[in-house]
Amino acid sequence: MGGRPLTLATGRHPFEVSTLLAALIVGVALQLGGAVTPRSVSTAMPPTIQTVWAIGLIVAGAVGLIGLAWPRTALLAGLALELAGVAVLGAAATMYSIALYAVSGAQAIAAGGFVSAVAIASWWRWVQIILDLRRLGRAADVGETMDVPLLLDGDR
């Protein structure tokens, strides 16, 4: 075997899984009328954007979870789906954070702090996946993909 092991930061972390699942459930509840749109969202966003936001939650959750569950034998496809899911989640959480602070100011510190943390974590994961995809691409360019052991951080 050739060079150093190629280690990727995998998803499937309980925080990521639970956040994507929550996004899916909340988005579906909002779209089916099982949940009331938060006041900050209905005040700060026009109706069309509210619908896009709720559908974004559904897409983020569904696509992200599919990416996490994707077979490891097709790692690039799974990472691409996870990347799309966390990007949409990051956008939706960022939109909600802005709406919370725009409408409620300092009163939004509790809810806004948690939603902002989800946005930051989503963008952070997005960067990790981009870096992992670059590492895989460089290994493929060098022709080492078959000679370099691939370690997923959950496999240690």
pLDDT for 76-90, tens place per residue? Answer: 899 999 999 999 999
**How many percent of the chain have pLDDT more than 70?**
88
Query: What total of structural domains would you count in the chain?
Result: 1
> DSSP string of the chain?
--SS-EEE--S--HHHHHHHHHHHHHHHHHHHTSSPPPHHHHHHS-HHHHHHHHHHHHHHHHHHHHHHHS-GGGHHHHHHHHHHHHHHHHHHHHHHHHHHHHHHGGGGHHHHHHHHHHHHHHHHHHHHHHHHHHHHHHHHHHT-TTTSPEEEGGG-
Domain boundaries, position 149: 10-155
The reply to whether the predicted model has a pTM over 0.95 is no
In this predicted structure, the answer to whether residue 59 has a pLDDT above a threshold of 60 is yes
**How many percent of the chain have pLDDT more than 90?**
71
Specify the pLDDT at position 102: 96
Q: 150 in a domain, yes or no?
A: yes
Q: 2 in a domain, yes or no?
A: no
Specify the pLDDT at position 2: 54
Q: 4 in a domain, yes or no?
A: no
Side chain identity at residue 16, one-letter code: E
Q: 3 in a domain, yes or no?
A: no
- Report the 10 Å Cβ neighbour count for 85: 29
pLDDT for 79-129, tens place per residue? Answer: 999 999 999 999 999 999 999 999 999 999 999 999 999 999 999 999 999
Q: 23 in a domain, yes or no?
A: yes
Q: 5 in a domain, yes or no?
A: no
Q: 119 in a domain, yes or no?
A: yes
